[in-house]
Amino acid sequence: MTDSPFQILNNKTMDRRDAMTTLGGMLAAGLGVLQTSCSPLASAAEKEKAQLDWQAYFQQNFQLMTDTEKDATVRRLERSYELNTGNRIDVSAQGPRKDVLYGYAFNVSKCRGYMDCVKACIEENNQDRASGMAYIRIHENKKGSMDFEEANDDFFHQVPAAGHFYMGTQCFHCQNPPCVDVCPVKATWMEPDGIVVVDYNWCIGCRYCMAACPYDARRFNWADPVVPIEEVNPNQHYLGNRLRKKGVVEKCTFCIQRSRDGKNPACVEACPTGARVFGNLLDPNSEIRWILANKKVFRLKEDLGTEPKFWYYMD
Amino acid sequence: MRTLRAFFNDALREATQGSTAYHAWMGVLTFLMCCGAWAYSVQLREGLIVTGLHDHVSWGFYISNFTFLVGVAAAAVILVMPTYVLKDHDFHSAVLIGEAMAVAALIMAISFVVVDVGGPARLWHLLPVVGRINFPRSLLAWDILVLNGYLALNVGVPFYLLYSHWQGREADKRYYVPVVLLSIAWAVSLHLVTAFLYAGLPARPFWNSSLLGPRFLATAFTAGPALMILVLTLIRRFGGYPVAHETIQKLSVVVTVAAQICVVMTISELFVEFYRNTHHGQSARYLFFGIGEKRALVPWIWSSIALIATATGLLTLHHLRAKKAVLYSACVMLFVGILIEKGIGTIIPGFIPEPWGKIHEYSPTWVELTVALGIWALGAFVFTVLAKVAIPIEMGLLREANSALHSTVSPTPQPAANPAAPTPE
């Protein structure tokens, strides 16, 4: 870079936003160096860590980053984790695939409440073990009623219980998501492939999205999340299962780190009864399209106009 | 520029001097603020886990206080409007006090939002250019703009008035009256926008009602002026500031009418919630009667209803309202009643039951209570300082003429030159 820092502001080829970001980055780096270089005891690794933290603090909203910036950001996350733990992780910033819109179907007849999906989800997505966070809730309904108020979602007994049936809820990745509308800083949005994601670095933790979600899909990190180091899933995505910090909101991402690799989400893979189906709504030959065409499907709270991409059906 | 500095010097001197009682009062407030700051430091270190909040009730005591205080701030318009628009001079002496109250309430409201967020260090994401504010889609973005705008208006106008009066000249109406008119419209929109923040969420049927906005305004115009009556009375007694009897009397009529409207709206809401036993009425059922064993809010809401109903009854009878003791106790009852109604009876039941019908209760922890106490002390502190400076200027005791003399005597205006050190015997 040949420009002096403040000439950037007058550079016609760079818009003002980029200029501010560049300056912010320089400031961040400068302060980081200043902070650590003032401490004679800081080792080289500590200095690097501090610098990475400063850069992370001043980083841009992920949606506005260029591909190069996205790449630098995930490299920084990898390096930071390595400095902190000595272990390596692989963080991806892979974008959406072309002509893909993800959808999900849940077979009420098949689910028997085994909860393997819940367990797989927690492990795959590096969810906080201390608070027992889970994106998926399994509701045990009495036969003859689909009133969720009457359902038990905290059961601890042998399943399937006689006279009951089971339904799972999680983020429905609404096509018209109220949580995205209310976010004051655009830290959450719907990706072109239909996945509703959160930029954990941009979220300010106001929890307005949690108030706005009619499906209890969002979770907040009330304290520093705990994931035992040997249980950390190293295959991560920036918008998905990378490690979170306290004070930010998270949610189901249809396992973005898996689905964008062409795999099924962990819950689908883990389900022993085949009650869960995931696929591309734009592909006329997909299983999910077959279900929508041939089964009597329904969605929950359709009257709210949120257009969930999550259907229920029965055999 | 020199004059401006002299003004702030005068203001600072006035704010740091006073009787032993004044210093004791400010000392107590400072102590409470320190307690709040310490509790907040615990929350910053541990996370919001130290509050009573959880994934099901994700907003609680902080946001409830925020909502109530926005109402108090909006109610300053009750004094501003008759004074500047209807040219009613009875309110004139009280209007600056009202605006000081609005400023204090806004600072408290903003503080309550700041302590509620999980990442206060990342609040710069809300700033223009460097941040990415979701305007106009997010009502929270609207609320941030409206709150800060209202704060600017309520700082700007009184500052201009006081500065002019301090210089011994009349403020120019052409400058400030248009701003005042703007701030009146702004005050109504301020509380309406805050109500829309909740009312716009179909996920929470308890809030998703077109009555929420009007009800917010009615409670604000009850609690705000009720507080104003109490504060003006105290200032008249202890601050030596002449507040016309007429002012209090007119304010008491405002409080009465607003309280009556509140009661009507509450009845209307209760009818809809309880006439048919729908799922949408579950929150109200939980709030008023409890569901099964879960009935944490029931005593609160009934004490609030009892306070508001009794006070409204008392104020409605003219001969009772005319009695000072009755008026003051009715004002206390209304303020406390609405504080409970907004603080506990509006925000929290919106989250109970959660979207799938389960009841997870919430009660604030000592951290939330201490932080809240600290913020209320901050508000009282800000208000006291503003009133302490405004009153002598309005009474003609604090003037540039006096202070100019002072600064020519000592060529270097040393802060040490003022005997402001709090030395309570």
DSSP code string of B29-80: HHHHHHHHHHHHHHHHHH-GGGSS--SSS-S-HHHHHHHHHHHHHHTTHHHH
| Among A75, A92, A109, residue at a domain's last position | A92
Domain total in chain A: 2
pLDDT of the residue at B420: 38
Contact between B213 and B197 under an 8 Å Cβ cutoff? The reply is: no
Mean pLDDT of A178-188: 97
Least confident piece of the model among A236-250, A285-299, B67-81, B207-221? B67-81
Inter-chain touch B119–A304, beta carbons under 8 Å = no
Distance, in angstroms, between B133 CA and closest chain A CA? 5
Contact between A36 and A47 under an 8 Å Cβ cutoff? The reply is: yes
Q: Give a yes or no: residue A16 inside a domain.
A: yes
Distance, in angstroms, between A285 CA and closest chain B CA? 34
A142 and A115 fall within a common domain: yes
Longest Cα–Cα distance of chain B, Å, equals 78
A67 and A139 fall within a common domain: no
Distance, in angstroms, between B254 CA and closest chain A CA? 34
| % residues pLDDT > 70 (chain A) | 87
pLDDT of the residue at A122: 98
Q: Give a yes or no: residue A21 inside a domain.
A: yes
pLDDT of the residue at B94: 79
CB nearest to B357's CB, from A20, A149, A186: A149
Mean pLDDT of B96-106: 92
Distance, in angstroms, between A59 CA and closest chain B CA? 10
| Among A23, A57, A92, residue at a domain's last position | A92
Full residue range of the structural domain in which residue A76 is found: 7-92
A254 and A125 fall within a common domain: yes
Nearest CA in chain A to B120: A204
pLDDT tier at B397, thresholds 50, 70, 90:
confident
Question: Measured between beta carbons, which residues in chain A are less than 8 angstroms from residue B55?
Answer: 210, 216, 218-220
A135 and A209 fall within a common domain: yes
pLDDT of the residue at B421: 38
A185 pLDDT more than 60: yes
Sequence-ordered list of residues with C-beta below 8 angstroms from that of A42, at least 6 positions apart, any chain: A36, A50
Q: Round the average pLDDT of chain B to a whole number and report it.
A: 90
A20 and A141 fall within a common domain: no
A264 and A310 fall within a common domain: yes
Reported as a single tens digit per residue, the pLDDT across A82-130 is 999 999 999 999 999 999 999 999 999 999 999 999 999 999 999 999 9
Tokens of residue B62, six digits: 């902080």
Question: Measured between beta carbons, which residues in chain A are less than 8 angstroms from residue B134?
Answer: 183-186
CB nearest to B48's CB, from A178, A210, A222: A222
Q: Give a yes or no: residue A46 inside a domain.
A: yes
A245 and A293 fall within a common domain: yes
In the A/B pair of chains, how many CB contacts fall below 8 A?
146
The one-letter code for the residue type at B79 is L
Mean pLDDT of B140-169: 92
Q: Round the average pLDDT of chain A to a whole number and report it.
A: 90
A174 and A285 fall within a common domain: yes
Question: Measured between beta carbons, which residues in chain B are less than 8 angstroms from residue A218?
Answer: 55
Task: Please report the sign of the dihedral spanned by the C-alpha atoms of residue B326, residue B332, residue B334, residue B336.
Answer: negative
Q: Report how far apart the first and last C-alpha atoms of chain A are (Å, whole number).
A: 64
Give CA angle at B372 (B366, B378), nearest 5°.
Answer: 140
Mean pLDDT of B116-128: 94
CB nearest to A211's CB, from B48, B204, B357: B204
Kindly state the DSSP code that residue B277 receives in the 8-state scheme: -
pLDDT tier at A256, thresholds 50, 70, 90:
very high
A25 and A161 fall within a common domain: no
Q: Give a yes or no: residue A2 inside a domain.
A: no
Inter-chain touch A247–B118, beta carbons under 8 Å = yes
Alpha-carbon span B88 to B82, nearest angstrom: 5
B396 pLDDT more than 90: no
Q: Give a yes or no: residue A131 inside a domain.
A: yes
- DSSP code string of A70-110: HHHHHHHHHHHHHHHHS---EEE---PPTT--EEEEEETTT
| Among A61, A76, A92, residue at a domain's last position | A92
B83 pLDDT more than 90: no
pLDDT tier at B424, thresholds 50, 70, 90:
very low
CB nearest to B129's CB, from A16, A153, A221: A16
A88 and A146 fall within a common domain: no
Alpha-carbon span B65 to B194, nearest angstrom: 12
Decide: residue A103, CB within 10 A, 0-12 exposed, 13-18 middle, 19+ buried.
buried
Q: Beta A164-169 vs A137-142: how paired, if at all?
A: antiparallel
Q: Give a yes or no: residue A298 inside a domain.
A: yes
pLDDT of the residue at B202: 95
pLDDT tier at B171, thresholds 50, 70, 90:
confident
Reported as a single tens digit per residue, the pLDDT across B271-322 is 999 999 888 999 999 999 999 999 999 999 999 999 999 999 999 999 999 9
CA atoms within 13 A on the CB side of B81: 15
Mean pLDDT of A296-303: 97
Q: Is A243 helix (H, G, I), strand (E, B) or coil?
A: coil
Reported as a single tens digit per residue, the pLDDT across B196-209 is 999 999 999 999 99
A45 and A151 fall within a common domain: no
A41 pLDDT more than 80: no
Q: Extract the runs of DSSP E, i.e. beta strands, from B100-141.
A: none
A206 and A108 fall within a common domain: yes
Q: Give a yes or no: residue A160 inside a domain.
A: yes
Sequence-ordered list of residues with C-beta below 8 angstroms from that of A181, at least 6 positions apart, any chain: A212, B137, B138
Domains of chain B, start order: 26-397 (1.20.1630.10)
Q: Give a yes or no: residue A1 inside a domain.
A: no
Question: Measured between beta carbons, which residues in chain B are less than 8 angstroms from residue A169?
Answer: 356
Strand partners, A107: A313
pLDDT of the residue at A19: 53
pLDDT of the residue at B328: 96
Alpha-carbon span B143 to A229, nearest angstrom: 42
Domain CATH for A182? 3.30.70.20
